[in-house]
Chains A and B, each alone.
Chain A
Amino acid sequence: MNTKMVYSKLQQIISDILEIDTGKINAETRNEDMAEWDSLKHVQIIDAVEREFNIKFDLLEIVDFESVADIAEAIENSTNEI
């Protein structure tokens, strides 16, 4: 899966869970800058990402994801390992 596809799917997941337009989400989007992206939504996003990409993140790294780019990078690292 290429980077563009990863971002596209990620944008859709985040947009669905936060109920915001996909246009508001890009690689630089940081959870701390979005009122909608609270800790419980963060958990839902991670859960949805794991199911969509059929991966399991390292449980301890989840809490360090601060931006869309961080999640995308972890997805790519996980899918490359398969």
Chain B
Amino acid sequence: MEDISKQIIANLTEYYKNFKGSSEVDFIKTENLYFTKFSDKSGFSIALNKNDNITNFIKTVNEIEQFKIKFNHSVYWILSEGQTKKNIENLRSKRFMPVKKWTNMHAELKEQIKIPKIKNLNIKKISSNADLKIWLKTHQETEKYSNFNLKTISALSNKKYISFYLGKIKDIPVATSLSLEHNSYVGLYLITVKKEFRKLGIGSAITLHPMADAQKTGINNFVLHSSKAGEKLYLKIGFKNYDKMYIFTQNSDS
């Protein structure tokens, strides 16, 4: 299971590396942290081992502080649920507050993936700039905090290990997803379905489509991180909960 934890982190890091700062990304590994520095003045730190007790909490926090000062970056700290629970009082005393919670999920699917047939739904892997623009617009309309732009995603669409998927119902774009292959694992990201088209099975289809494509190339392992709302859908299509991660920010107001 430890391998899966590492794969989830590796895939997530690869994802952010590509989406946050494009080519200007630095990775810094210290005794306690894996720090990713993006060119957009943000960064995140991941405590290395999901079972790690973070033996010296203060030292670890100081490392984050140094990154913030040195690079003038805002920093998010990602901790597993176990690490979070073990450090509740420490986190409180240092004014860390969680801003998001993800459930890390993993699926190993060896049987041929079947994509549910939904009337009038057409999902395709994007290959043209025109479709990429539609993908972005659909994503932006669905995701409140989307900060992607055409320049970023255009550059990424040329990468062999990243694929964009767009779902349409009768020419109306309704869903997006993206797959990223890293170390023989495929991570699934940016799975969105427009509000008015939810609960029709489109979420399953837009998730399974890139998985089925990956399976054709011999990949059977898939990872994603889900919000509370999406968990049920992913469990239904064969994912299992691996662990939870909390994303913290340090509140400096007093």
Residues of A bordering B, CB below 8 Å: 32, 35, 38-40, 42-44, 46-47, 56, 59-60, 62-64
Contacts and interface: CB of A to CB of B under 8 A. Distances in A.
Contacts of B85: 60
Nearest to A32: B144
A59 B92 contact: yes
Interface in B216-249: 228, 246, 249
A43 to B, nearest CB: 4
28 contacts: A32-B144, A35-B144, A38-B145, A39-B99, A39-B100, A39-B249, A40-B249, A42-B99, A43-B99, A43-B249, A44-B251, A44-B253, A47-B95, A47-B251, A56-B92, A59-B84, A59-B91, A59-B92, A59-B98, A60-B84, A60-B88, A60-B246, A62-B97, A62-B98, A63-B98, A63-B99, A63-B101, A64-B228
A42 B249 CA distance: 11
Given A35-B144, A38-B145, A60 B249 contact: no
Given A38-B145, A63-B246, A47 B253 contact: yes
Contact count band on B: 10 to 19
Contacts of A40: 99, 249
Contacts of A56: 92
Interface of B is mostly: mixed
Nearest to B97: A43
A56 B145 CA distance: 28
Nearest to B96: A59
A59 B97 contact: yes
Contacts of B99: 39-40, 42-43, 63
A60 B85 CA distance: 8
Given A35-B144, A59-B88, 6 more contacts: A39-B249, A42-B99, A44-B251, A59-B91, A60-B246, A63-B99
A43 B249 CA distance: 8
A56 B249 CA distance: 17
Contacts of A60: 84-85, 88, 98, 101, 246
Nearest to A35: B144
A63 B92 contact: no
A56 B97 CA distance: 12
A67 B85 CA distance: 24
Interface string B63-93: 0000000000000000000001100100110
Nearest to B88: A59
Contacts of A64: 101, 228
Residue among B97, B246, B251, B253 with the highest chain A CB neighbour number at 10 A: B97
Residue among A38, A43, A44, A64 with the highest chain B CB neighbour number at 10 A: A43
User: Nearest 9 A-B pairs (CB), nearest first?
Assistant: A39-B99, A63-B98, A43-B97, A63-B101, A43-B251, A47-B251, A59-B88, A62-B98, A32-B144
Nearest to B101: A63
